[in-house]
Structure 1
């Protein structure tokens, strides 16, 4: 029925147009029919224009999305190369690749964090801080970047800033290596001579990683400053038991044994230092202590 009615309508319009051509239609009707025909043509053209515009917008959108994806993929290659160079301590090449990665795709937090590490390794602390902060702005829960930022502040002797950055890292309960942030907090508190807080921080680092020997060593040094010499000696011995080649622990054990008048034990500890790192400044200092103990 629908087709029949449409065909009748078309036949009627055809007859009316024919009458227009022959002049048999009244002028008023002629204008009305011309308007009807023009309206259909205009509607058709409008639909065509809208379809064309939609196609153009779709092309631009997907083209831009594709371009962004390509830039991310290209930047990721430079990032991975930069990390390889960074791990190999080839800092100039690491900087070259990581700067390129950031330029190509500046919205990736991990790129800024890696570039910050490269600048840190180069001794360019302000540039390192800039990129660690950028990484944190992009991803506020990027705890590694906050911990790295705290390490730079320690190098700059900005203890309070270091503590604040470490605390921000620890605010993320999903942080997988909180011992690093606790260790940095301990170092900052130690330098501030706040040994109670330093002790607490190093203990928390050890609680989160029972094999974090550097934290044990720093805890031993803290005990020495607190005049807890027995605890210090026990801590250094624990480090040496788990890492016999840890020269710093032998050296520190020697120092604390001097304090508790164990000259023989101190001399043995310093001898180990000389054996492990014979050409170092630490070895020369150990030899000096041995001479004093004779």
Structure 2
């Protein structure tokens, strides 16, 4: 499903204004804070009134004009919003948040040339901390202009600046999934590229419905039926009935079931490999990028039973299956314990929500530091289980009913 183009405002951070020391400054700051509070709850009328009062008391703070511009933009008063942004930039030409928000406004008016100018100005400011959002907006503009190379290039830049930028993964993945004729790749290679993008996001802990659906649909289009089935079913369990992706997932599953009814497939065999970044072993999760598939039935079916289900399996297949069995047995001998990971985050602050949810379930999680693609991340983990089955049962009983996703992993001696 293509993500509708909406060039969103940069994140507005409350409390970024330099504290005032005069009585007049305190009064202006008070009205500004009130205005921001109204802005955050969607009461734009009260926000505008409070921000105008703040500007009346202190007309020299560019942040006040930025907030006022956002409020006016929200109610469709684009000329007033533009005037506010320009006044803010006149006070501080290096106010990159204002430049980006002005670019968003100009892009909404299809004034792409001017919008690009302000976005590039923000990007070239070495002190601007939200370059990922500037690159993201720049990418969306280039898509509207039909320059798909620059569209992809700037989305990749956005991800480079923020490895956890979920919207950028979704837009880029959907481009390769649904607009393959514009990618310069063959249809199949474009689908594989989409799968790679969604998979990277998922492995970083970004598991929104759009990401999971992207995985399910890409596997479906690549005729990886078991993989597609797993992620589509996961999406259906994860989302409520109001989410349109749930209906799309059900439609794809119906097609899969119809194909299953008419075609007998060879079993899908998975194996375990070592994830080199943090030397953690993942069971039944990674086969070979981009073929990632968690086989929920693997623990219930020994290798021998999978062979016996095939009609007259050839000797080469039997040898391969036996080799996989031996590899699995060797790995099992070196296991220390299984545990559950419920997320990977770029800061400790971002782990607070999931930790509080787990504690309400009487689960005491731990935070592990790790490095992924050269960046520090924090994983929320818990549990010491003797077997994969024990960990899976705990996950299904305690986490899944509470809509908490977990990945079962194990550590090696």
Aligned to 1:161: 114
Aligned counterpart in structure 2 of residue 260 of structure 1, from 200, 222, 226:
222
Q: Does 1:113 align with 2:75?
A: no
Aligned to 1:37: none
Contact 2:166 2:206 in 1 (8 A): no
1:234, distance to aligned residue in structure 2 (A): 1.1
Aligned counterpart in structure 2 of residue 97 of structure 1, from 42, 46, 50:
50
Contact 1:247 1:277 in 2 (8 A): no
Change (3 A) 1:202 1:288: same
Change (3 A) 1:241 1:152: farther
- Bigger radius of gyration: 1
Change (3 A) 1:272 1:202: same
- How far does the alpha carbon of each residue in 1:111-159 deviate from its partner, in whole angstroms, 9 at most, with x for none? 0101122233334444333322221122111001111222333444444
Contact 1:153 1:161 in 2 (8 A): yes
Aligned to 2:244: 281
Q: Please report the TM-score for the alignment, with normalisation by the length of structure 1.
A: 0.67
- How far does the alpha carbon of each residue in 1:8-28 deviate from its partner, in whole angstroms, 9 at most, with x for none? xxxxxxxxxxxxxxxxxxxxx
Question: Which structure ranks higher in relative contact order (CA pairs < 8 Å, sequence separation ≥ 6)?
Answer: 2
Higher helix proportion: 1
- Paired with 2:119 and 2:241, the residues of 1 have a C-alpha distance of 36
Aligned to 1:28: none
Aligned to 1:248: 210
Aligned counterpart in structure 2 of residue 200 of structure 1, from 137, 153, 158:
153
Say how many residue pairs are matched: 227
Equivalent residue runs for 1:18-97 within 5 Å = 69-97=22-50
Aligned counterpart in structure 1 of residue 125 of structure 2, from 166, 172, 180:
172
- Paired with 1:199 and 1:100, the residues of 2 have a C-alpha distance of 43
Change (3 A) 1:277 1:151: farther
1:214, distance to aligned residue in structure 2 (A): 2.0
1:101, distance to aligned residue in structure 2 (A): 1.5
Contact 1:115 1:128 in 2 (8 A): yes
Higher strand proportion: 2
Give 3-state SS (helix, strand or coil) of 1:239's partner: helix
1:241, distance to aligned residue in structure 2 (A): 2.6
- Paired with 2:195 and 2:63, the residues of 1 have a C-alpha distance of 41
Aligned to 1:144: 97
1:263, distance to aligned residue in structure 2 (A): 4.1
- Paired with 1:289 and 1:123, the residues of 2 have a C-alpha distance of 39
Change (3 A) 1:102 1:271: farther
Give 3-state SS (helix, strand or coil) of 1:174's partner: coil
Give me the CA root mean square deviation: 2.6
Unaligned runs of 5+ in 2: 1-20, 259-413
Greater shift in the superposed pair: 181-190 or 116-125: 116-125
Give 3-state SS (helix, strand or coil) of 1:199's partner: helix
Unaligned runs of 5+ in 1: 1-67
Contact 2:100 2:134 in 1 (8 A): yes
Change (3 A) 1:90 1:166: same
1:235, distance to aligned residue in structure 2 (A): 0.9
Greater shift in the superposed pair: 132-141 or 219-228: 219-228
Change (3 A) 1:157 1:246: farther
Contact 2:99 2:121 in 1 (8 A): yes
Change (3 A) 1:194 1:78: same
Change (3 A) 1:124 1:284: farther
Change (3 A) 1:258 1:154: farther
Q: Please report the TM-score for the alignment, with normalisation by the length of structure 2.
A: 0.49
Contact 1:254 1:270 in 2 (8 A): yes
Q: Does 1:216 align with 2:169?
A: yes
